[in-house]
Every structure is written in C-alpha cells, then in structure tokens.
C-alpha cells in the first residue's frame, strides 16, 4: 500500500505561510542554547521555538494600571491643593498619565507629576493645567522609582472634581 498525500485545509495553508514568512524574514533574532527568539520591532510580539520544537508566541510588552483615583472622581474645594497619591514606577520604562477636570468643576486644575525619592520631592516631570471639561493623556520616560501626583485648583466658588490614572509599560 502506498501512502496517500495529505491535503491541508485553507486555514492550515495560511497559518503555514505566515509561520514561514516569520521564519524567513525575521527582523531580529537571538539564541540561547536551543531556544531561538524571533521578534518584530513593529509590535511587542515575539515567537519562540522551544528546545522541544514548540512554537510559543507571547507579548513581551505589558501595560499595568499602577494608580487610579477612586471611581467617581476626587473632589476638593477650589483654591486648595490635594495630594492625589504616590505611584511606584520601579520596573517600568514608560508611564502614561490620563487626567481630566470634570464638567461642573468650579475652576481650572494644575497637575504636577513629581519625582519621589524616599520621602523627598526631587523634581517635576510634568506640569499641566486643565479647564473644566478638559482632559489630557501623555507618555513619560520613567527616570525614577516613584512619582507623586498633586492637583491644585485655582480660586473659585465651589469644588473641583478630577480623575487621574497612571499606566506603566515594561
């Protein structure tokens, strides 16, 4: 008896072509023992072929929520400054800061992102001001192990309300 050729499904052919392209046109690769890593700098994915011959694809760039003001916003009187909290940034290359000044706030809010070493405020990484209904998102390189977040409301009658979130990327 002779062996019949095995037919591949369309999906299997596409998957094989994608894997072949990834192996034939890697943009960067490293080897450690029997482990070969193929990475693509256009995204955070890496394909690894283990010493058992298994292909593993993993996302090597992770993002974590490091800090968030309580749900429903932090509210404080206009004309005062509020410490929003401290954030450990050790182990992260970049942080993304997301902030808003909620609708109905009595005044502008000036935010400060400050390097924190121990209990000492060392230097400001960023300062920005938002009018009521304003929002801002930006990314910073992380030169420190921790940061402190402050919000200072301009003079006015009533309260201001804000939400601040900080994400870390490895």
HSE, side-chain direction, 13 A CA sphere, residue 149: 21
Give the integer Cα–Cα distance in Å for 18 and 12: 10
The kind and range of the H/E element at 10 are helix 10-24
Euclidean distance between CA atoms 155 and 98, whole angstroms: 23
Q: Rounded distance, CA 19 to CA 2, Å?
A: 30
Q: Tens digit of pLDDT per residue, the chain (170 long)? A: 555 555 555 545 444 544 444 444 445 555 555 555 565 555 556 666 767 777 766 655 689 999 999 999 999 999 999 999 999 999 999 999 999 999 999 999 999 999 999 999 999 999 999 999 999 999 999 989 999 999 999 999 999 999 999 999 98
Q: Which fold is adopted by the domain 63-169?
A: Jelly Rolls (2.60.120)
Buried/exposed 13-23: b ≥16 CB within 10 Å, e otherwise: eeeeeeeeebe
Instruction: Name every residue whose Cβ is closer than 8 Å to that of residue 59 and which is 6 or more positions away in sequence.
Output: 44, 45
**Amino acid 51: pLDDT:** 72
What gap in Å lies between CA 117 and CA 123, rounded to an integer? 10
The pTM assigned to this predicted structure is: 0.66
DSSP string across 113-167: EEEEETTEEEEEEEEEEE-TT-EEEEEEE--SSEEEEEEEEPS-SSEEEEEEEEE
């Amino acid at each position: 008896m002779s062996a019949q050729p095995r037919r591949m499904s369309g999906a299997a052919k596409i998957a094989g072509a994608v894997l072949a392209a990834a192996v034939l046109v890697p943009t960067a690769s490293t080897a450690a023992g029997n482990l070969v890593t193929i990475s693509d700098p256009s995204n955070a994915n890496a394909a690894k072929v283990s010493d058992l011959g298994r292909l593993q694809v993993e996302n090597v760039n992770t993002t974590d929520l490091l800090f968030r003001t309580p749900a429903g916003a932090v509210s404080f009187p206009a004309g005062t400054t509020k410490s929003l909290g401290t954030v450990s940034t050790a182990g992260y290359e970049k942080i993304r800061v997301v902030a808003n000044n909620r609708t109905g706030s009595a005044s502008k809010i000036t935010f400060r992102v400050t390097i924190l070493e121990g209990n000492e405020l060392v230097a400001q990484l960023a300062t920005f001001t938002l009018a009521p209904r304003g929002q801002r998102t930006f990314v910073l390189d992380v030169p420190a192990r921790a940061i402190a977040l402050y919000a200072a409301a301009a003079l006015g009658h009533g309260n201001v309300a804000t939400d601040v979130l900080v994400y870390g990327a490895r």
